[in-house]
Amino acid sequence: MDLTALIKNKDVTNELVITASKSGGPGGQNVNKVNSKVTLRFNVTNSPTLTEHDKEVILQRLASRISTDGELIITAQHMRTQLQNKEAAIAKFNQLMEKAYAPRKARKATKPTKSSVKKRLDSKKKHSEKKKMRQGL
């Protein structure tokens, strides 16, 4: 059970703000009485551990998950206990950071094959002939 949050071999565990609250959805009485939902917050813009380059990469690649205040917010509420949800939130955080730093594959431009070009042209020719046959002369 490792609760360490890493970004490119930098430990940011002390910068994470983890709060617990009552989760919604199905679960009956257990949901109503137990604070098992975990919200993990990480302020990317004000992090003293990250370099400016790291901040730019995270803000650019995870833009849809970061709030206007520059906070990355992750919630976990699928498990029954708070500890399991905390572990799930930290695992999700680590997974997102790996995704943000994963190198992007460059797209290689390719040409269509000769057979696909021939097939397309034949199809166009056939369609053109069909249209010509419909014209009343």
What amino acid occupies position 135? Q
Q: Tens of pLDDT along the chain (137 residues)?
A: 566 777 777 788 888 899 988 887 676 777 777 788 899 999 999 988 888 988 898 899 989 999 999 999 999 988 888 899 999 999 999 999 888 888 888 999 999 999 999 999 999 999 999 999 998 76
Residues linked to residue 76 through DSSP beta bridges, in sequence order: 38
What pLDDT digit, counting tens, does each position of 110-135 carry?
999 999 999 999 999 999 999 999 98
Cα separation, 98 vs 59, whole angstroms: 14
Cα separation, 52 vs 9, whole angstroms: 16
